[in-house]
Amino acid sequence: MKLDLLTLKLFVRVLEAGTISQAAEREHIAAAAVSRRIADLEQSLNTTLLVRTNKGVSPTAAGLELLYRSRALLNSVEDIESRLQAYSEGQQGLVHILANTSAISQFLPGPLGEFGRLHPSLRLQLEEKTSLDIIRALADGKADLGVFTRLPYDADIEAYPFRSDKLVVLVPGDHPLACHERLRFEQTLEHEQITLLPGTQINYQITKVAMEAHRSVRVRTEVSGYDAMCLLVNAGMGIAILPRESARIYHIPNTRMLELDEDWSRRELLIGVRRHRDLQPSAQTLLNFLLGSAAITVAG
């Protein structure tokens, strides 16, 4: 006879109750069936586990050893069940999120912080990528969720509206453009610019619009994030086009923020998944939370 969890559970209940009949009553099983299981257990282990008297039962030394080990095993099984139940309910696990720099700097810290407080057992892995890389990774199944700025793509993914932002022009305080309140994009093409790396939505957008006007962007420096972009503008190395909220959070003193007077300066950020129906419960829980939070605040 192999050890099985039901027999061990009944063995523990018998010693806790003090009699086989009381244990059988609590577990809603016939006393004869309980007695038979324990007798078979003793026979398979070739040792006596219980001392039986007309007043009840008590453990032998071997029975006491089995009692301690059975309790530990049953507790471990209960822990496994509760943890797996938490997974099925989206309360446990790891969610891998890819997000572009706009989403990370503007929109994700607050909701993810609140989500973490509500779901402390669920771990989040947040990784920064360009919008194009995020779309490709989602299509390849390399992440659970992705937050990116809308741009043309042919990847087979599902995407949902999340937030919107507004692009502005950040210029040094003593720059020739600093006297303006708002600019057309073509006015910026006369000046050296600090841009994000290729693959980002902003790089794609300004390059596309410049080409349509048969012009080119005078790129002075390419950077990977808005913090470097703002610092270089502050140092007088050029002007930059970036989201308004991203420019605000860095509090760069020697700069001016100018409105970009173009329809395409208002952008939409999306939450993407490969397949909604294939999401693990933990990822589904986060997706629902983020989509629910999307109606609270829209920047710009």
Contacts of 263 (CB under 8 A, 6+ apart): none
User: Which helix (H) or strand (E) is 20 found in, with range?
Assistant: helix 20-27
Q: Which domain holds residue 84?
A: 5-88
What confidence score (pLDDT) does residue 296 get?
40
What confidence score (pLDDT) does residue 300 get?
34
Mark which of 69, 88, 107 sits at the end of a domain: 88
Contacts of 51 (CB under 8 A, 6+ apart): 57, 58, 59, 60
In angstroms, the first-to-last Cα distance of the chain is 71
Number of folded domains that form the chain: 3
Same domain as 184, residue 261: yes
How does strand 145-149 pair with strand 93-99? parallel
299 is a domain residue: no
Residue 140, exposed/middle/buried by CB under 10 A (0-12, 13-18, 19+)? Answer: exposed
Could you tell me the CATH number of the domain that includes residue 107? 3.40.190.10
State both tokens at 138. 């989602």
CA distance 96 to 146: 9
298 is a domain residue: no
Q: Taking Cα atoms as reference points, which of 247, 266, 156 lies closest to residue 205?
A: 266
State both tokens at 239. 């002007």
Contacts of 46 (CB under 8 A, 6+ apart): none
3-state DSSP assignment of residue 176: helix
What confidence score (pLDDT) does residue 3 get?
81
What confidence score (pLDDT) does residue 252 get?
86
Same domain as 155, residue 16: no
249 is a domain residue: yes
What confidence score (pLDDT) does residue 121 get?
82
CA distance 126 to 286: 12
58 is a domain residue: yes
Which residue has tokens 């039901």? 6
- Per-residue pLDDT tens listing for the chain (300 residues): 578 889 999 999 999 999 999 988 988 999 999 999 999 999 988 999 999 988 889 999 998 999 989 988 888 887 677 656 655 555 557 899 999 999 998 999 999 999 999 988 888 999 999 999 999 999 999 999 999 999 888 899 999 999 999 999 999 999 999 999 999 999 999 999 999 998 888 999 999 999 999 999 999 999 988 999 999 999 999 999 999 998 988 888 899 999 999 999 999 999 999 999 999 888 999 999 999 886 543 333
Could you tell me the CATH number of the domain that includes residue 181? 3.40.190.290
CA distance 260 to 23: 77
3-state DSSP assignment of residue 193: strand
pTM of the model as a whole: 0.65
